[in-house]
Amino acid sequence: MSKILVITTSLRAKSNSDILSEQLIAGATDAGHEVEHISLKDKEIKFCLGCLACQQTEKCVLKDDANKIAEKVKNADTLVFATPIYYYEMSGQMKTLLDRLNPLYPSDYRFRNIYMLTTAAEDEEKTPEKALTGLRGWVDCFEKATLVDSLFCGGISDPGEAAIKKTALEKAYDFGKRIK
């Protein structure tokens, strides 16, 4: 089966995207996958300098937690990004991490399948569109990778509220079971 890396990007305590990611991880584990989880909570991730030194060295000149995360991303078969939707877009910390994964572009990265889990207070079908477009832009830079699927769980706003949303919990678990 696949080696899956789940990266949760919410910094909030009792994060709804974290709660749903736990269910996703349970589903993927039950499907026989090896799953590793990284939370961006308590991680130091500096902004990309745009120096492009990484395009020659495959390493970032900045020294922080993004380098360790990039190594794990490089060696995973499948990536799952979980983010709350802020102002109809992915979290800023997720975007910062994607920018810092630039050293992987010229590398012999392993990942092929990419998934996204999003949560938001808003419940309109279009709510996650811009976040998906942002991730799709990153994925498009990696010609061997594909954005396979996404799951949006809307209408969830209060910290920890996802824990009582039975339908959302079931959807997250089922989504995890379908990950390749």
Q: What is the mean pLDDT of each run of 10 residues along the chain (180 residues)?
A: 96 96 98 98 97 96 98 98 97 98 97 98 97 98 97 97 98 97
Q: β-strands 3-8, 34-39: how paired? A: parallel
pLDDT given at position 1: 85
Here the CATH number for the domain that contains residue 160 is: 3.40.50.360
CA 90 to chain CA centroid, nearest Å: 10
Residue 73: predicted pLDDT: 98
E-assigned strand segments in the chain: 3-8, 34-39, 78-84, 113-120, 146-154
Length of the chain (residues)? 180
Backbone φ, ψ for residue 64 (5° rounding): -160, -170
Residue type at position 165:
K
- List the domain range (segments joined by +) for residue 46: 3-178
- Which amino acid is located at 176 in the chain? G
The domain total for the chain is 1
Residue 7 has, within 13 A of its CA and on its CB side, a CA count of 27
The reported pLDDT for the residue numbered 178 is 97
